[in-house]
Amino acid sequence: MIYLDTNILIYATLSKVDNQNQQKISIDLVKKCIDNNTLVLSNLNILEYSFVMSKAKEDDIKIKKAISLFIKYVKEEKQDFSKILQSFLKNNYSLKNSFDLYHITFAHSYSCDKIITFDKGFKKFKTDYNTKIEIL
């Protein structure tokens, strides 16, 4: 299973991007994960996605259409998820990057093979989990 960070979903669907290569990579990743039935997402993905796309002034219909696709791959938090998440909120970096920590903890809770992101800030969490963090 593969967990995609929200920035991958955004780059795959945003109308105007500053990096066409990142958009192509994102589109290919989303398609591959859907085709292979390996995509795992969380409710936080959906919330972040809708927030950023709305701030980017994307069309509401486009946002809702994308969410209706992504929501099919959303899993619920497992029992004891909050306890595990709190155990990793142990230093200033994790407190300041709590959304990233949430994504990694969520992916780990579903035994995802990897989490894929463009966010270089994830590298500081690489030693905390067995889930591979792939930074593009």
Domains of the chain: 2-135 (3.40.50.1010)
Q: How far apart are CA 3 and CA 22, in angstroms?
A: 17
Work out the pLDDT band at 93, boundaries 50, 70, 90.
Answer: low
Confidence of residue 38 (pLDDT cuts 50, 70, 90): very high
State pTM to two decimals: 0.88
Q: In terms of Cα–Cα distance, which of 83, 60, 70 is closest to 5?
A: 70
What's the rounded Cα separation, in Å, for the pair 64 and 41? 16
Task: Retrieve residue 24's tokens.
Answer: 């192509």
Two structure tokens written together for 28: 């290919």
Q: Which amino acid appears at position 110 of this protein?
A: Y
**Which has the minimum average pLDDT: 38-42, 43-47, 102-106?**
102-106
Average pLDDT of the residues in 88-92? 68
Helices in 36-88 by DSSP H: which ranges?
Answer: 43-55, 60-70, 81-88
Among 108, 106, 112, smallest CA distance to 127 is for: 108
Instruction: Judge whether 30 and 72 are in contact, CB under 8 Å.
Output: no
- Residue 7 makes CB contacts below 8 A (sequence gap 6+) with 117, 118, 119
- 109, 83 in Cβ contact below 8 A? no
Q: Give the pLDDT confidence score for residue 121 in this predicted structure.
A: 81
3-state SS, residue 129: coil
Name the token pair of 129.
């989990």
Tokens of 17: 């991007």
